[in-house]
């Protein structure tokens, strides 16, 4: 049977740990994270684990890994500098590529994740997080980049998934400062999970708060709500949905014909700036944003 942790396994990890004081090395893998954590509590006392004698010379932690729970140990005995404890969580900035009807673009969210690699349970590169600016659509964004010493590279989409699944850090991020709090879609209720206006979306029948995003139907509802409050945008969207207009050029003509003179002029100007590259749907987005920011020049 695999998953039997033998004395030899522990002796091997103790030997590896002794070679580099303070460096975490992998020990045996357990069927569950709970059993790995139970073993980790016995390591400093060398209780039933004589490989880690003398008492107090080794530290350990148990972490979730691909195959269950991984025990990681380090040697802390002997002479040397004081060693940093494992952090409870790590906080990183990651890019999202969210989109809604008429909207798309890059966003950056700050998330709290485990300090350990989800594949092997080894320490993530929490002590080596670097700001990584990048350009998209002429704008500069800053995400974080880090290398895990185990060699397993984290993927941003999986990091986001993990932040959604796992509870907020103890004493760290609370639902009050969750990144999702900043999403304008919170202004409308969610038809998917039943969250009220102003509340975070939830998963698993309300068991977990979604900290970094909201359900897609809620974003769509928010967009529809915004359009409804801007009559010129609502006019163009209705015509676009009927396929009466496809291009920004036709949208401008429709606006002028229906007496939305200021809006028609603004779209004309945008058409010139864009060299005529403007769809009816993009016109809707433009009109909504123009109304919300008060841009456009008229009183
Ligand atoms: Zn790893
Ligand atoms: Zn929801």
More confident residue, 219 or 206: 219
Ligand nearest to the CA of 72: 1
Ligand nearest to the CA of 118: 1
Q: Are the C-beta atoms of residues 89 and 174 closer than 8 Å to each other?
A: no
Q: Are the C-beta atoms of residues 50 and 43 closer than 8 Å to each other?
A: no
Ligand nearest to the CA of 153: 1
Cα 158 to averaged position of ligand 2 atoms, centre (Å): 20
Could you please report the per-residue DSSP string of 153-218?
A: PPPHHHHHHHHHHSPPPTTS--GGG-GGGG-GGGGS--TTT-PPTTSPPEETTTTEE-SS---HHH
CA distance 63 to 211: 22
- Structural domain boundaries of the chain? 7-75, 87-173, 174-213, 229-293
Q: Are the C-beta atoms of residues 147 and 123 closer than 8 Å to each other?
A: no
Q: Are the C-beta atoms of residues 255 and 240 closer than 8 Å to each other?
A: no
Cα 152 to averaged position of ligand 1 atoms, centre (Å): 4
Q: What is the mean pLDDT of residues 69-89?
A: 90
Q: What is the 3-state secondary structure (H, E, C) of 235-255?
A: HHHHHHHCCCCCEHHHHHHHH
pLDDT tens digit sequence for 165-203 = 776 544 444 566 677 887 888 989 999 999 999 888 887
Ligand nearest to the CA of 221: 2
Write down the pLDDT at residue 262.
95
pLDDT tens digit sequence for 59-76 = 999 999 999 999 999 999
Cα 28 to averaged position of ligand 1 atoms, centre (Å): 14
Q: What is the mean pLDDT of residues 271-281?
A: 90
Cα 181 to averaged position of ligand 2 atoms, centre (Å): 13
Q: Are the C-beta atoms of residues 235 and 260 closer than 8 Å to each other?
A: yes
Percent residues over pLDDT 90 in the chain? 50
Q: What angle do CA 83, 56, 24 make, to 5 degrees?
A: 45
pLDDT higher than 90, residue 16: yes
pLDDT tens digit sequence for 96-154 = 876 444 445 677 888 889 999 999 999 999 998 998 888 877 778 888 999 999 999 99
Indicate the average pLDDT of the chain.
86
Write down the pLDDT at residue 164.
80
């Amino acid at each position: 049977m695999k998953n039997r942790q033998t004395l030899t396994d522990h002796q091997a990890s103790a030997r590896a740990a002794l070679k580099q004081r303070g460096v975490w090395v992998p020990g045996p893998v357990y069927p569950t994270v709970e059993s790995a954590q139970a073993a980790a509590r016995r390591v400093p006392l060398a209780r039933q684990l004589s490989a880690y004698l003398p008492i107090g010379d080794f530290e350990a932690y148990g972490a979730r890994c691909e195959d269950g729970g991984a025990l990681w140990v380090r040697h802390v005995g002997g002479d040397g500098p004081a060693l940093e404890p494992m952090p409870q969580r790590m906080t990183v900035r990651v890019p999202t590529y969210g989109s809604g009807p008429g909207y798309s673009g890059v966003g950056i969210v700050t998330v709290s994740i485990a300090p350990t690699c989800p594949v092997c349970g080894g320490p993530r590169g929490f002590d080596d997080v670097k700001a990584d600016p990048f350009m998209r659509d002429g704008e500069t964004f800053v995400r974080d980049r880090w290398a895990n010493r185990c060699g397993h590279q984290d993927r941003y989409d999986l990091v986001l998934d993990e932040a959604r699944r796992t509870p907020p850090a103890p004493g760290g991020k609370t639902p009050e400062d969750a990144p999702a709090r900043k999403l304008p879609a919170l202004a409308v209720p969610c038809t998917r999970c039943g969250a009220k206006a102003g509340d975070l979306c939830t998963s698993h029948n309300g068991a977990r708060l979604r900290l970094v995003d909201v359900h897609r139907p809620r974003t769509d509802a928010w967009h529809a709500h915004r359009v409804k409050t801007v009559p010129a945008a609502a006019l163009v969207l209705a015509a676009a949905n009927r396929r009466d207009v496809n291009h920004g050029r036709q949208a401008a003509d429709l606006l002028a014909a229906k007496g939305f003179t200021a809006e028609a002029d603004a779209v004309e100007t945008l058409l010139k700036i864009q060299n005529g590259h403007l769809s009816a749907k993009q016109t809707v987005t433009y009109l909504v944003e123009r109304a919300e920011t008060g841009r456009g020049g008229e009183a």
